[in-house]
Structure 1
Amino acid sequence: MFSIYDAFKRKIADEEISTPLAAILALTELIENSDAGTMFELVKALNDGAEALKKQASNTISVNAGCELFIAFVTLFPHDSDNFTDLKKELIRQGQNYAAEALTYRKKIAELAFGFIKDGSVILTHSYSRVVMQTLLLAHKRKRFSVFVTEARPRGLGIKTAEALTAAGVPSTVILDSAVAYVMDKVDFVLVGSEAVVESGGLVNAVGSNQIAIIARAANKPFYALAESYKFHRLFPLSQYDLPSHNSKILSFPSILHANSSSMNTSSPSSPSQNESNYPTGGQPERVPLRITQEQISKNNPDVDYTRSLLLASTAPEMTVLILRRRPDLISLVFSDVGSLTPEGVSQYLVGMFAG
């Protein structure tokens, strides 16, 4: 029996295949294994498969970006096939061809961003990004520069970036996430990858990207994002808590009752401190060990955050419309395979992309 998640895992095992592309290829396999006899049935099967994939995959935002793009393509695909079987074959061929072509997008982006890297540049990058790595390695062939890399907790992927750059001969050093403001005066510009670029022109990327963008703007340093066009996503978050990846466990406060506190005095069950409604579980308070581990910290923190394209000036909770005073963009440019775009340009491109 076909499992879309198993198909997704096979594709994502390839280091060159990003999450949205793996989702597109998994949906392509779903068409191949589907017994749908009409377009309505096929689109329903694709939507059901996308929902199943989002429930099982850890990176829901990137998965959703790929699924949304492919389903929109299938829905809008112009065809003159004689029968539905031929149409399915054509959709499968188009999906596979798109994925193959999409693997060239990083090279296009690297060549586009190449001109912004000057001899002697000092660059700050965050976490690990394949398109950022390709850009830096291409520039290293003809230019001299050095790179500060954030440690990028909780996953610590900045170390992977620094090791790869050092092995290639690029001077690089790992800095603490908390040292970004300290090092910013030494930096010429910031260069980051992305999990998704959303409808507002904002960026979803490894947690810490937002604070780096804010510090870069305060220091008047450009903040550049690199993103393949298949990561453009029809999502319009207004805050961190609007991201699909956010849940109640992130940054939660467990009830404080230490494991060794059985000998401590406790109030009667009817007292407010012991009332079941005071505890998130609705039962007994959670026993929190005295020793806090890195694993516990990671589980209680987000993997990604949202960087607004504009600084938010003021909001009025009683109003239905957010009041935005025009302020400088946090994101200077988004380099993509479709060109170098301002945040406003991303919005315009997304409208055209999903309008057929």
Structure 2
Amino acid sequence: MASKDLKTQKLSTSKDLPPLAISTTILLMNPEMNSKFDIYQTYRKILQDEEMSPPLAAILSLSELMVESNAGTMFELVKELNDGAEELKKHTTNSISLNAGCELFIAFVTLFPHESDSFAGLKTELIKQGQKYAREAISYRNKIAELMLDFIKDDSVILTHSCSRVVIKALLHAHKTKRISVYVTEARPRGLGVKTYEALTAVGIPCTVVLDSAVAYVMDKVDFVLVGSEAVVESGGLINAVGSNQMAIIAKAAHKPFYALAESYKFHRLFPLSQYDLPTHNPSILSFPSLPPRSSVTQPTGAGVFPQLTKDEVNGTPSISSSSLKQRAMSSEQLAKNPDVDYTRPDLISLVFSDVGILTPEAISQYLVAMFAG
């Protein structure tokens, strides 16, 4: 949400507002209706709408917070918004995209021209503009899908990762006029690639789910890689579901384009230099567990040392039995030691497709400076 875009938007009438916005308008007229405002519960409620991404849900949640605010000055209002943003981040393990939305909305509030006669009137207008932006920003995916269309040729074979709303929108849009086939990674541990598979096959797009470990194997078959984003940062790099970085590295080695799709509300003022500079990183990620003294460890013997092997019914080769696989599935503690997202360097990214245009990674930094400078 570039602040200059919001400055030019006209106020919406109540008949144009979605249910959430209507409820906010009612609360504005009757503040005693919701004396115990919980911003995190509001955020979770908004996210129940599958069209809502975390940054937009954060913007709407902060708009609701402004309804409940008793601030009498801009300084007090901005402090309450910052406190609300911190409360949201405190309850979220991966707060990167959420924080992008919070940062954007707070910058907008700070830079908004004070044309109202009263501070109460200013707050009312800020709330309406925030709601209007969130409502209109959902259509950004359509703009990106249209921009991407010229880069998708007939009979293209595309590799994508995990599940991204904007990527699915782009692929469905391309399917209307072109023949495409899609490989999608399983995206462990949540397995969201299967959700993408279901969305694409439902409309007749040939799609195959591949193992995360088979990305290099399939890369020679594809024309380009297409991924979504949690955030695009000042360096021009990409933060996305873990596994995106290794896909970009393999694509670079195979001389295949690596395209990222990102709505402008996911542009974030971060400048990570490595995976360990991400806000989501903490000492427990990829840490080694504490082991008991060697003398107290019981050494396993016999068949328990190795997984139980069975003969594959098709070709007679040894394979691990399903019961053994189930016993050796990663525990929740082991999963918790793995990252949810990773960072892809800008030199690995070919282009970033956004509602503000097709950008090189180098152009991202310039756009971010302009966005937050007002």
Deviation at 1:262, TM superposition (A): 6.8
Q: Deviations over 1:114-136 (max 9, x none)?
A: 11111110000000000000000
- The SS at the match of 1:204 is strand
Note the aligned Cα RMSD (angstroms). 1.7
Deviation at 1:294, TM superposition (A): 4.5
2:82 is the counterpart of 1:82: no
- Work out the CA distance in 1 between the residues paired with 2:42 and 2:92: 12
Q: Deviations over 1:20-55 (max 9, x none)?
A: 000000000000110001101000000111111111
In the other structure, the counterpart of 1:139 is: 174
In the other structure, the counterpart of 1:27 is: 62
Task: Pick the aligned partner of 1:295 from 322, 332, 348.
Answer: 332
In the other structure, the counterpart of 1:188 is: 223
Q: Amino acid of the residue matched to residue 170 of structure 1?
A: I
In the other structure, the counterpart of 2:369 is: 351
- Work out the CA distance in 2 between the residues paired with 1:263 and 1:340: 59
Q: Amino acid of the residue matched to residue 367 of structure 2?
A: Y
Contact 2:37 2:68 in 1 (8 A): yes
In the other structure, the counterpart of 1:104 is: 139
Deviation at 1:164, TM superposition (A): 1.3
- Work out the CA distance in 1 between the residues paired with 2:330 and 2:130: 44
In the other structure, the counterpart of 1:341 is: 359
Q: Deviations over 1:290-314 (max 9, x none)?
A: 956353332110010000102xxxx
Deviation at 1:63, TM superposition (A): 1.1
- The SS at the match of 1:253 is coil
In the other structure, the counterpart of 2:198 is: 163
- Structure 2: tracts of 5 or more residues without a match: 1-35, 300-326
* Distance 1:224-1:291 versus aligned 2 partners, 3 A rule: closer
2:95 is the counterpart of 1:95: no
Deviation at 1:3, TM superposition (A): 1.0
Aligned residues: 312
2:240 is the counterpart of 1:222: no
What is the correspondence of 1:171-320 to structure 2 with a 5 Å cutoff?
A: 171-257=206-292, 261=296, 293-310=330-347
In the other structure, the counterpart of 1:331 is: 349
- Work out the CA distance in 1 between the residues paired with 2:93 and 2:286: 18
- Work out the CA distance in 1 between the residues paired with 2:52 and 2:236: 24
Task: Pick the aligned partner of 2:160 from 125, 135, 140.
Answer: 125
- Work out the CA distance in 2 between the residues paired with 1:146 and 1:214: 22
- The SS at the match of 2:346 is coil
- The SS at the match of 1:59 is coil
2:63 is the counterpart of 1:45: no
- The SS at the match of 1:37 is coil
Q: Amino acid of the residue matched to residue 299 of structure 1?
A: A
Structure 1 residue runs of 4 or more that deviate by more than 2 Å after TM superposition = 260-264, 290-297
- The SS at the match of 1:224 is strand
Deviates more, 1:128-137 or 1:162-171: 162-171
In the other structure, the counterpart of 1:69 is: 104
Give identity over the alignment, percent. Answer: 73
TM-score norm. by structure 2 comes to 0.81
- The SS at the match of 1:186 is coil
Contact 2:224 2:258 in 1 (8 A): yes
Deviation at 1:99, TM superposition (A): 0.4
- Structure 1: tracts of 5 or more residues without a match: 265-289, 311-329
- Work out the CA distance in 1 between the residues paired with 2:148 and 2:298: 63
- Work out the CA distance in 1 between the residues paired with 2:331 and 2:205: 30
- Work out the CA distance in 1 between the residues paired with 2:292 and 2:180: 52
Q: Amino acid of the residue matched to residue 285 of structure 2?
A: I
- The SS at the match of 1:257 is coil
- Work out the CA distance in 2 between the residues paired with 1:98 and 1:25: 9
2:45 is the counterpart of 1:10: yes
* Distance 1:186-1:14 versus aligned 2 partners, 3 A rule: same
Contact 2:94 2:340 in 1 (8 A): no
Higher helix share: 2
Q: Deviations over 1:91-115 (max 9, x none)?
A: 0011001001101100000000011
Deviation at 1:263, TM superposition (A): 6.5
In the other structure, the counterpart of 2:7 is: none
Q: Amino acid of the residue matched to residue 222 of structure 2?
A: V
Deviation at 1:261, TM superposition (A): 4.9
